[in-house]
């Protein structure tokens, strides 16, 4: 998954001499929390609502506050901003956001600003990766960490004519084991759970506290 596939190409921006007050207004109007600062066609920095708010503390007297709000964003913007390229991998962009504790990355092609990628965009994409965008439910299986194991379990779903929306492979504290986390398009999991357990794997979810399985009711 590449940055260009999920970035926003519609960009709201300000110039270095835009006032703090105006920048706040723009953010509110466009429902955004970050604005790139552009001089000519060069990206020179980034302002965030957090920076703007901490620059205008509520403890100031009204008059001082008015003065401050008239100052240009260039005084408080982050410069240079951390940026990414449209062809960067999404996971690398996510690591940049995480390691620098920031919420937004301007996307640059050469010198030109071509998009904006935010934390929310990545979270939304993550929801799709988890497969919660189709009617489906969660199945978690503990399996041996060995070649072909995913295919074995996946085959049980296809034997039951159940489509898999997503699959994640997660670590397991037990040595030699991993967990497979599926999101599958099925409301009835009873037969699948039975067959996965029979094949020697261990289903961790769904689990029932309601006591012995009632089997297939007729």
Among 102, 186, 196, 203, binds another protein (CB under 8 A): 186
Residue 31 lies near another protein (rule: CB under 8 A)? no
Task: Kindly tell me which of 48 and 157 has the beta carbon lying closer to another protein.
Answer: 157
Residue 160 lies near another protein (rule: CB under 8 A)? yes
Neighbours of 191 (CB within 10 A): 14
Report residue 96 as tokens: 């940049």
CB-based burial label for 81 (10 Å; 0-12, 13-18, 19+): buried
CB-based burial label for 171 (10 Å; 0-12, 13-18, 19+): exposed
Among 138, 152, 178, 195, binds another protein (CB under 8 A): 138
Question: What whole-number distance in Å separates Cα of residue 106 and Cα of residue 88?
Answer: 12
Residue 124 lies near another protein (rule: CB under 8 A)? no
Residue 161 lies near another protein (rule: CB under 8 A)? yes
Among 13, 55, 154, 205, binds another protein (CB under 8 A): 205
Q: Would you call 173 helix, strand, or coil by DSSP?
A: coil
206: phi then psi, degrees, rounded to nearest 5: -75, 150
Among 63, 175, 187, 198, binds another protein (CB under 8 A): 187
Residue 152 lies near another protein (rule: CB under 8 A)? no
Which residues sit at the interface with another protein, rule CB under 8 A? 132, 134-138, 160-163, 183, 185-192, 205-206, 208-210, 213-218
């Amino acid at each position: 998954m590449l940055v260009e596939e999920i970035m926003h190409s519609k960009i709201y921006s300000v110039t270095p001499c835009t006032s703090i007050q105006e920048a706040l207004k723009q953010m509110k109007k466009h429902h955004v929390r970050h604005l790139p600062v552009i001089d000519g066609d060069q990206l020179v920095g980034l302002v965030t609502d957090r920076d703007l708010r901490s620059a205008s503390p509520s403890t100031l007297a009204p008059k001082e506050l008015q003065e401050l709000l008239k100052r240009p964003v260039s005084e408080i913007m982050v410069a240079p901003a951390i940026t990414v390229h449209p062809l960067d991998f999404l996971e690398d962009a996510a690591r940049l956001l995480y390691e620098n504790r920031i919420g937004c990355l301007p996307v640059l092609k050469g010198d030109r600003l071509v998009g904006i990628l935010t934390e929310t965009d990545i979270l939304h994409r993550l929801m799709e990766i988890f497969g919660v965008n189709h009617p489906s439910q969660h199945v978690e299986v503990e399996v041996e960490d060995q070649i072909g194991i995913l295919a074995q379990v996946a085959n049980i779903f296809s034997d039951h004519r159940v489509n898999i929306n997503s699959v994640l492979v997660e670590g397991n504290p037990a040595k030699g084991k991993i967990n497979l986390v599926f999101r599958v398009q099925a409301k009835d999991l009873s037969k699948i759970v039975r067959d996965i357990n029979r094949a020697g794997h261990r289903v961790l979810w769904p689990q029932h506290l309601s006591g012995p399985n009632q089997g297939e009711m007729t």
